[in-house]
Amino acid sequence: MSPADGRVTKTFPVFDCDAHINDPYEIWTTYVAPEYRDLVRTAYWKDEKQALLNGRTPTIGGGHYEFPSYNPICIAGPQMSKQVMRKLQQTPLTAEQKRYLEHPGAYDPKARLKEMDLMGIDQVMIIPTMFVMNYPFIENVDAAYALARAYRCRTSRTRARSSSGSGGWTSAWRSSDRSTRAASTRTTSSRA
């Protein structure tokens, strides 16, 4: 790193290989085929209030929910550790403190890009945290298949939007300039 105009700059790309996101509601509201929605609703369904696994087990779905202390899926940042998180769970927090701890980049691609710029991150490998945690426990095979298709369809369409410059999660997986980013997005899409 070399200083320029009093600012620290980097001369190498930074790749974040452990970037977790929360699954967007559109997977359930838009991309699950209408004929499968009732079936998927009984398997793993997420809305703005909660996520239910197999129609009976409430689970953390990673959404922008109201939590007693803080949203554990949206907490991140420098110096954050399991010890700090445990202490925060035992501490009453004001609404302002909860907002401070919540990183919207966990569920909003545009916020993620701002956070990446702030941290000097050029590319990320995105991991859909709650989907990966809950999907293996879906009991109905047909519902699991329909949900997987919806997720893949949403990912494919997001890649297409991203390469056209209109945003989405794939645009958070970026290179140092737009032409390289668009080319890498097209290459990734063609492999999918």
Read off the pTM.
0.65
Q: Number of folded domains in the chain?
A: 1
In tens digits, the chain (192 residues) has pLDDT values of 455 577 777 888 999 888 888 887 888 889 999 999 999 999 999 887 788 899 999 887 665 556 667 777 777 666 778 888 888 888 888 888 888 888 888 878 888 888 888 888 998 888 888 888 899 999 999 999 999 999 888 777 655 444 444 445 544 444 333 333 333 333 333 444
Q: How far is 185 from 167, CA to CA, in rounded Å?
A: 12
Residue 12 per-residue DSSP state: S
The answer to whether residues 82 and 127 touch, using CB atoms and an 8 Å cutoff, is no
Is residue 75 within 8 A of residue 67, CB to CB? The reply is no
Domain encompassing residue 93: 2-191
Reported as type and span, the H/E element at residue 41 is: helix 37-41
Give CA torsion, residues 36, 40, 42, 44, to 10 deg: 180
Residue 107 dihedral angles phi and psi, to the nearest 5°: -135, -5
